[in-house]
Structure 1
Amino acid sequence: MNTSRFPHLKAALATGATALLVTVAAPLSAAAAPSGSTAAPAAVNEQAGWLRLGHLSPDTKSVDVRVSAVSGGSTLFELNGVGYGDVSPYEELPAGTYTVSMVPAGASGSSVPVISETVTVDAGTATTVAAYGPTADLQVRSFDDDLTEPAAGSARIRLIQASTLTPEVDVTTAQGDAIARDAKAGSATGYAEIPAGDWSLDLEGEGVSDTADVSVAPGSVTTLFVLDTANGGLTILPILDSASVGDVPDGGVDTGGGFLAAADDTPAAPAKLLGGIL
């Protein structure tokens, strides 16, 4: 595979198989992660919400991301050198309206943003803001993250379709049970409960297909991002939203966190698996 196009994917491949059973992932980089924080604090601030940021545009170079308050314009936090496939940890913010701006990595503070979007953070909620699509048609979208706890022994997952290779994608288990049908680029499915464990998933789009292995821990909530690979295929990047029952949001799992993790033993899927995810 030629991974020179996506250095972050190359780094992930070099890392090898790492299951999504970790509860706290490494930050994007020392500069990219908010100082001393990879997860929301244990003491929940009822007047605050959580925001995390993702770079899901395969041909957009690394960017610096700035989050500023609309009222007053002050920068609350900044992520530097964010590349394709990076998803930041959650940052706790006071409820309010913010501007998310992306500029070329290393650009001065006065540089014109590559793209800018306004997002509202509500108290007690978690939000993912992601840039996706090709550079020529770069878009930003906010996704509401639902951290409702799963039943004992189960996990909750959803899927966000961010591939630029196909306008729609189907994702099924190796046993043929549907996770998503005709998921459109830039869209998110609802959340569904599944038995915790290892899963082998088949991805099918227009003229492109691939497989991916993921692992989800009991009590966890996970977002599965459909991304492009350097050799023109599809893959799934699992991002941990919350690690345990009733937990506040966790830090994101970056591209070294195991989205190409291999599992030797995949449990058989129950017949009614994920019946209501759409």
Structure 2
Amino acid sequence: MKNSRFPHLTAALATGATAVLVAVAAPLPAGATTTPTADSGAVSTAVGDSTGWLRLGHLSPDTKSVDVRVSALSGGSTVFELDGVAYGDVSTYQSLPAGSYTVSMVPAGASGSSVPVISETVTISADTATTVAAYGPTADLQVRAFEDDLTQPSSGSARIRLIQASTLTPEVDVSTSTGDSIAQDAKAGSATGYAEIPAGDWSLELTGKGVSDTAEVSVDPGSVTTLFVLDTSSGGLTILPVLDSASVGAAPDGGVDTGGGYLASAEVSTVAPAKLRGGLL
């Protein structure tokens, strides 16, 4: 597919990192420290050399809502919890001391002694942002972690990457309505690298095995965004844009521009315009 407007876009986005998909959201516990959002106009000044950021998400369409617990590997104390996380929920970034943590998912409302549906050990590095995601069908649920690249784009541009979380198709192609390729043969459970595009409104076409759809995405100048390919309740595909960073010099964000439920300002949205799929745990 031709890529006349930005010829280096396909190469950057098609370079798949072994990647990761995210899934999690719910209100942060009282007293928890959250990273300032772009709307607050604040930039974190409390983050030191030993602090990183962690973001969580729920991208398994047939897995019911879950509670997520993040515990320090050393000592096992719970650092924070997210309750009632549903499909399509993506949390804001949480600042944490650099170190190793266990991320565990249990059915929503389960007791503290319940056996986790799945758990994974992740390492948070200083001055880096990390996304941990649960994805895939319940029968093959997986959790992975990857480092988010918040490098600033050039003036008037935005940076995006694509994470293929759909269970409806093993691979997906994403292109603009003018035929510019965003991603080719993006495999389920994979993430592309970040690429720079002109800021503005984009109409995207998604094509997979036996399924196709369109999605509208808007990216602001100076922003860094992850585009999640998810399933809809009608058996189609949609894109959920998640803001990684709103502008140069701002702390990581993570609020969702459009799509399913999400965590923003320590509140969970129950609105799901995209009518994302949901199922039984």
Q: TM-score, normalised by structure 1?
A: 0.80
For 1:28 and 1:196, the matched residues in 2 are separated by: 28
Percent sequence identity over matched residues? 76
For 1:123 and 1:180, the matched residues in 2 are separated by: 31
Pick the aligned partner of 2:55 from 52, 55, 71.
52
State the one-letter code of the partner of 2:84: G
SS of the equivalent of 1:108 reads coil
Pick the aligned partner of 2:176 from 165, 173, 176.
173
**How much has 1:120 moved relative to structure 2?**
0.5
Query: Which residues of structure 1 form unaligned runs of 5+?
Result: 1-26, 262-278
CA 1:216/1:32 → structure 2, altered by over 3 Å: closer, same or farther?
A: farther
For 1:176 and 1:197, the matched residues in 2 are separated by: 17
**How much has 1:99 moved relative to structure 2?**
0.4
Structure 1 consecutive aligned stretches of length 4 or more whose deviation exceeds 6 Å: 257-261
Residue 64 of structure 1: aligned partner: 67
Residue 265 of structure 1: aligned partner: none
Pick the aligned partner of 2:84 from 63, 81, 84.
81
CA 1:34/1:187 → structure 2, altered by over 3 Å: closer, same or farther?
A: farther
| Contact 1:33 1:89 (C-alpha < 8 Å) held by counterparts | no
Pick the aligned partner of 2:133 from 116, 119, 130.
130
2:257 paired with 1:255: no
State the one-letter code of the partner of 2:260: T
Q: Over aligned residues, Cα RMSD in angstroms? A: 2.2
For 2:94 and 2:30, the matched residues in 1 are separated by: 9
For 1:64 and 1:203, the matched residues in 2 are separated by: 31
Query: Which residues of structure 2 form unaligned runs of 5+?
Result: 1-23, 38-42, 263-270, 275-281
1:193-204, aligned counterparts within 5 Å?
A: 193-204=196-207
For 2:138 and 2:106, the matched residues in 1 are separated by: 13
Residue 145 of structure 2: aligned partner: 142
SS of the equivalent of 1:239 reads strand
For 2:190 and 2:29, the matched residues in 1 are separated by: 26
Pick the aligned partner of 1:95 from 95, 98, 123.
98
CA 1:33/1:130 → structure 2, altered by over 3 Å: closer, same or farther?
A: farther
1:1-278, aligned counterparts within 5 Å?
A: 28-30=25-27, 35=32, 37=34, 39=36, 42-43=44-45, 44-253=47-256, 255=260
**How much has 1:76 moved relative to structure 2?**
0.2
For 2:272 and 2:201, the matched residues in 1 are separated by: 12
SS of the equivalent of 1:136 reads helix
For 1:35 and 1:67, the matched residues in 2 are separated by: 12
**How much has 1:36 moved relative to structure 2?**
6.1
CA 1:259/1:106 → structure 2, altered by over 3 Å: closer, same or farther?
A: closer
| Contact 1:226 1:235 (C-alpha < 8 Å) held by counterparts | yes
Residue 13 of structure 1: aligned partner: none
Q: Cα deviations across residues 124-150 of structure 1 (Å, max 9, x unaligned)?
A: 100100100000000011121000000
State the one-letter code of the partner of 2:44: A
| Contact 2:160 2:196 (C-alpha < 8 Å) held by counterparts | yes
Q: TM-score, normalised by structure 2?
A: 0.79
**How much has 1:260 moved relative to structure 2?**
6.3
For 1:79 and 1:221, the matched residues in 2 are separated by: 24
State the one-letter code of the partner of 2:111: S
CA 1:36/1:96 → structure 2, altered by over 3 Å: closer, same or farther?
A: closer
For 2:94 and 2:27, the matched residues in 1 are separated by: 15
